[in-house]
Amino acid sequence: MEGQSVVVIHDASTEINVRVFEWSLHGLSLVPGDMLTLIAVLHQVITPMGYKSSVDSRLMFGANQKMIEAEAARKKEEYMKHPELTRIFRLYKSEKVGFNIEMATGSSLKAVALKSATKLKATWLILDRSDEIKLII
């Protein structure tokens, strides 16, 4: 039997809620061999002039691909160096549960969530919003 695959979808423009990771480890009874993947979704970037722009480059005022890639790389670095996520990573490692961080771009959080859940064969999908956590089985 394959281990559980938990996918947490997080809006990269909001603060990280680390409680969701502590809860997932114990609330979902994750065991060695299970995997949790944080998908940080970048759906807008700040332009050099300070305006928010959609990552959908097909739009008239959408950001260009180079700007999107640079912002995604910067955000991933920010997640990798986040002190609380580093602590959570060590906690998962001690429990022998995999913990992975991926960046995704898309103007629709729903579309990115569906694509990520399908790709990772999620047994649990958690939508982490700044004001609530929504668990989807």
Give me the average pLDDT of each 10-residue run along the chain (137 residues). 85 82 87 94 73 60 69 88 92 94 85 89 83 50
| 92-109 pLDDT, tens digit each | 999 999 999 999 888 777
- CA nearest 38: which of 121, 119, 122, 103? 103
Q: Other C-beta atoms within 10 Å of 13: how many? A: 15
pTM for the model: 0.80
Q: Identify whether 61 is part of a domain.
A: no
Please check whether residue 81 is in contact with residue 89, taking contact to mean a CB–CB distance below 8 angstroms: no
Q: Identify whether 21 is part of a domain.
A: yes
Q: Identify whether 84 is part of a domain.
A: yes
Q: Identify whether 121 is part of a domain.
A: yes
Question: Residues near 71 by Cβ (< 8 Å), separated by ≥ 6?
Answer: 42, 45, 46, 63
- Could you give the CA distance from residue 17 to residue 54 in angstroms, rounded to a whole number? 23
pLDDT of residue 90: 94
Q: Identify whether 53 is part of a domain.
A: no
HSE of 69 in the Cβ direction (CA atoms, 13 Å)? 3
Give the total number of structural domains in the chain. Answer: 1
Q: Looking at residue 11, which CATH number applies to its domain?
A: 3.40.50
Per the structure, the complete domain to which residue 26 belongs is given by 5-45+73-136
